[in-house]
Amino acid sequence: MTITDPTLSTTDVDADLSASSAEYIPDDRYRSHEKYTSLVGIKKDAKRQLSEVVWNYLWTGTGDETTVERNTSKFDELLWEVPLFSGVSNPNTSTRFLDYDLSFPLLTAPFGQEAVFHPDGHLAIGRAVEKVGVHQMVPVAGSHLIEDVAKASGSAKIYQMTFVGEEEHVLQMIHRAKAAGYEYICVTYSPIRQWRERLREDRFSPRGLTDSVNFGPNGSNPAGLKELLEFTKPRWTWEQAKRVIERSPLPCIVKGVGSAEDATRALAAGAVGVYVSNYGGRTIDRTLSTIELLPEIRAAVGPDVPIVLDSGIRRGSDIAAAVALGANAVAIGRLTAIGLAADGEHGVQRTLELLKEEFWTTLGHLGCSSVAELGPHVFRQK
């Protein structure tokens, strides 16, 4: 049975409905025509695209993988102090790292053999990075010629070199990087073999992966790559690293810094910046996470030395935490590879866009109008 108000005419009812409709504002914040609306979706798609063996290669750590877990869990232990009535509606996420303006404080990390995830590899990564307004670090063991990666976008300005083998061969490749248009060298060391049990169980072999394309008759001397794989000679010392950094035609940052002592020795060797990394827990297990080490490293080098951090970054909120504790920027390796595996250039671009959006949201909630306003005060004090 329908009950009507006899005092209202049909015209009155229509007018009320029309007014009600005009005042209704739908909550469409979660509607989207994007293929990927979250990093969860990108990860799921990447896992569908890859074989179990290749997924293990991407996600593995060493030993029991406790460092892989610690890298992420220590971020989760950092709790925000969210101020009431202090939110910022449109914070500025842009920042500067080294000589580069970034739309938010992120670079893609220099991981090799990336064509196993998508044939375009770092070519696609560079194009995606440029669209989002950040920068790319390019590895020595990449799947494409360093010259081709440099030409693919304007974002490839930092080239990663492993200090192994003959010093002259390393310097020759640094000169080659400069000729290709790179402006900084990311220096890393060569560890002895890593105990990666997933790869041992899978009997994983990189045969067929184009990780040596930059070496050989038409490229750089392959002796360094051979030594990297065979480990027949002692690893380099700080004295050797210093000699090469001093002779390098490009300024260097040192990757793998895991203590205040490492950081100060890197600067003493001539580095212009430090890269805090445990290589995503892929070299040795049972080490501290990078986010735990960051405050002591920042204290050791002072406020002005550029610091980039990787290992454990999984969300935009992790980026905010790293910057608040002293990093100028973060680098992402696994997340970049996941985006690449899911959908090539577009997958990487959406990964970066989603990280930027969450970083923006985090800044706003914390009452920070810019990246520069992040600091230890944003955390709940224990």
> Average pLDDT for residues 71-91, to the nearest whole number?
94
Using the 8-state DSSP alphabet, how is residue 244 labeled? Answer: H
How many Cα atoms are found within 13 Å in the side-chain-facing hemisphere of 111? 27
pLDDT tens per residue, range 270-283: 999 999 999 999 99
User: CATH number, domain at 323?
Assistant: 3.20.20.70
Amino acid occupying residue 284: I
Q: What is the pLDDT of residue 210?
A: 57
Inside any domain, residue 26: no
User: Residue 125's domain spans which residues?
Assistant: 98-359
Tally of domains in the chain: 1
pLDDT tens per residue, range 234-272: 889 999 999 999 999 999 999 999 999 999 999 999 999
Inside any domain, residue 78: no
> Average pLDDT for residues 311-334, to the nearest whole number?
98
CA distances from 282 to 195, 266, 364 (A): 8, 22, 34
The answer for residues whose C-beta is within 8 angstroms of residue 270's C-beta and 6 or more apart is 242, 245, 246, 252
- Give the least confident one: 12-21, 269-278, 284-293: 12-21
For residue 356, pLDDT beyond 50: yes
- Distance (Å, whole) CA 187 – CA 68: 22
Inside any domain, residue 13: no
Query: Residue 12 — pLDDT band, cuts 50, 70, 90?
Result: low
pLDDT tens per residue, range 128-185: 999 999 999 999 989 999 999 999 999 999 999 999 989 999 999 999 999 999 999 9
Whether pTM exceeds 0.85 = yes
Q: What is the pLDDT of residue 195?
A: 86
Inside any domain, residue 174: yes
